[in-house]
Amino acid sequence: MRKIINLNTNLKNSIGGNSIRKISDPWASIGTILGQTSIDDYSFHLKKFKAKKGDIVAAEAKQPTGDGRVVEVIVWGRIMEIISSNEFLPNEAAKELTEGNISIQDTILPLTKNDAICTVKNLGYTTNDPGQKLSLMPLNYPVYPGGAVKYPASKDLESLLNTDMKGKNPIFIGNLVARRDVDVQVSADNMVSRHVLVIGMTGSGKSVWVRRAVRELMVKQYPILIIDPHGDNLGIVQKATKLFPNHKIKLFYPKISASENNKEVIYTLIERLGNKLTEPQYDFLNWVLTKTDYEPGTSLIQYISILIQKSNAAAENKRNKSTKSSDGPGNTGASTMGVVSRSLRKVYSKLKEMEQSNISNRNKYPHLKFEELPDPYSQPEKIIQKSQVSILYLKGYESLPSSTIVSILLESLFNHRSAGNRTIPPFFTVLEEAQNFIPSKSEGQDGYPSVSTIKKIATEGRKFGTGLMLVSQRPYRLDETVCAQMNSYIILRLKNERDQRFVKNTMENWDNEEAKQLPNFANGQGIVSGQITNLPLTVQIKFDDDLTNDDIGDENFISDVQNWKESSENKKKRELSKDFDEVFDVDKRKPH
């Protein structure tokens, strides 16, 4: 030990005041690198409680350059694991303490010999020159054993994380989980142009992220379209009007309609919502569809009503006329036409029921102004405008009709952008419950109309300014082709193993140690990765409490039941049922 101390002293004396100042000089030394290192990782001995799992640390090292020089660098890494051990406390000794109910404090066993060994995953390196910016580069030589590991200052770490962001419209999203004093920004440019996948189980903080992203994009006046199946974003309507008085916040309810060019989507919906038809019945349905003009802007419910009238008229003509009647293909009989008519009535009833359900849900928010969705073909500018957030409220509609609505809407808006006629500006679509709109083939719903539309936007949208943010609690149920086009990821708490496997298979450079974190994240904590950030980060997303929905809180069903009062209608039904039972009992006692 004396020799090591003397050598260290001699080194200090030889360097003296002539050493070149480095960025890392003021940082606290927290450990020493152990004897075996690699380009990917290393281990170091940690001073007690000087760092924790998830911390980003820095090792002072040297790297060879392409021109034969060797330069001083900082190798940045993340602590993936910390193992504490004490070689003076073998298992047998611990067993004796346990069995004898003895405190280690009452023994001669040394507590000061506890060692903490950290495993670090390398992220890359930067120069250690104060005159150079901290721009991360791939490591090409391992750190050397015995080197110092330091705890970087907050301002320097923040500089590393957010370098080169100024030209990319940076937006603030939160802080590092391990360093709450370090702010994290991401690139808004890459977010709106290169697509984002947001995944996490129920209660993990997906809405926390959506509100944060929407708020920051609103500051930049960027047009946003939110597809909202459950009303998770109604708080934006309630609160953002006051917070952003110069913005338009539009809340739309759906109207299913299509142009002649998109008539096939309507056919699919009718076919899949109705009864299963035989080939002759399907031929007649196709005949009715082709013989019935679809006026642009007509609602689907109105169109189906017209189809029912036409099929009924054809059946009536068939019954009243000779078999040579021209109604229907070939020798279609009246009974076949009747089956098709009943199938159309079933579709009509389902759509009316869903429409009514949507109305009932809207009526729960009398203080909010809902408007009918404008025709995206002739009035796209009413949906997409600078400084406007448009929310499409789909609650009450089943997956297939919702898919049809979204397909028609996004297809039209995309066509306006790709045509280059400047009808609408670039815009960003937030697709909540994405698994309902882009189900994987394994779900057996890959024929949903929205799948092909969203695939097109995912693959071509970057060229035309139609960015996507997909939000889902069941990533393994998402279409693989669409997910492969996502360039950035927000991974929140996930406990389902199938979801974790999906993440591992989808994301590049995914680490098993990172996967271990997923089940343990708190609300709003997650991994931010991809082209919106300089390197993968574990972040606590800022909670925008002033954008939450006051009408949706934590449910208290026990209290609801305790305060439950029977409705007058149910009370009348119960009394009538009781009277009927009494009459029935008397009738049973009478001799017959």
What's the pLDDT score for residue 163?
80
Is position 576 within any domain? no
Among the candidates 312, 332, 359, a domain finishes at 359
Among the candidates 335, 359, 383, a domain finishes at 359
Is position 184 within any domain? yes
Is position 473 within any domain? yes
What's the pLDDT score for residue 317?
84
What's the pLDDT score for residue 409?
93
Closest CA to 254 of 392, 162, 382: 392
Among the candidates 163, 188, 220, a domain finishes at 163
Q: Which amino acid is at 62?
A: K
Whether the pLDDT of residue 222 is over 60: the answer is: yes
Do residues 223 and 175 share a domain?
Answer: yes
Q: What is the mean pLDDT of residues 213-232?
A: 95
Do residues 355 and 441 share a domain?
Answer: no
Is position 466 within any domain? yes
Per-residue pLDDT of 139-177, as tens digits, reads: 999 999 999 999 999 999 998 998 877 667 899 999 999
Between residues 287 and 11, which one has the greater pLDDT?
287
Distance CA 402, CA 439 (A): 13
Do residues 98 and 187 share a domain?
Answer: no
Per-residue pLDDT of 121-141, as tens digits, reads: 999 999 998 888 888 899 999
What is the number of structural domains in the chain? 3
Q: What is the mean pLDDT of residues 287-315?
A: 85
465: how many CB neighbours lie within 10 A of its CB?
A: 16
Do residues 192 and 305 share a domain?
Answer: no
Is position 235 within any domain? yes
Is position 150 within any domain? yes
Q: What is the mean pLDDT of residues 67-87?
A: 91
When mean pLDDT is compared across 317-331, 411-425, 544-558, the lowest value belongs to 317-331
Do residues 508 and 403 share a domain?
Answer: yes
Is position 542 within any domain? yes
Distances from the Cα of 226 to the Cαs of 193, 357, 435, 473, in angstroms?
Answer: 16, 20, 15, 17
- For residue 462, the domain's CATH number is 3.40.50.300
What's the pLDDT score for residue 298?
77
Per-residue pLDDT of 426-473, as tens digits, reads: 999 999 999 999 998 876 666 788 999 999 999 999 899 999 999 999
**Terminal CA-to-CA distance of the chain, rounded, Å?**
113
Do residues 155 and 208 share a domain?
Answer: no
Single pTM value for the model: 0.84
Do residues 382 and 514 share a domain?
Answer: yes
Q: Are 403 and 443 in contact (CB under 8 A)?
A: no
Do β-strands 537-541 and 170-176 pair in parallel, antiparallel, or remain unpaired?
antiparallel
- 469: buried, middle or exposed (CB in 10 Å: 19+, 13-18, 0-12)? buried
Do residues 290 and 234 share a domain?
Answer: no
Do residues 59 and 26 share a domain?
Answer: yes
Do residues 49 and 110 share a domain?
Answer: yes
Do residues 84 and 178 share a domain?
Answer: no
Distance CA 415, CA 568 (A): 53
Average pLDDT, the chain: 85
Per-residue pLDDT of 342-399, as tens digits, reads: 999 999 999 999 999 999 999 999 999 999 999 898 899 999 999 999 999 999 999 9
Is position 570 within any domain? no
Range of the domain at 294: 260-359
Return the SS3 of 569.
helix
Do residues 226 and 338 share a domain?
Answer: no
Per-residue pLDDT of 530-556, as tens digits, reads: 999 988 899 999 999 888 877 665 566
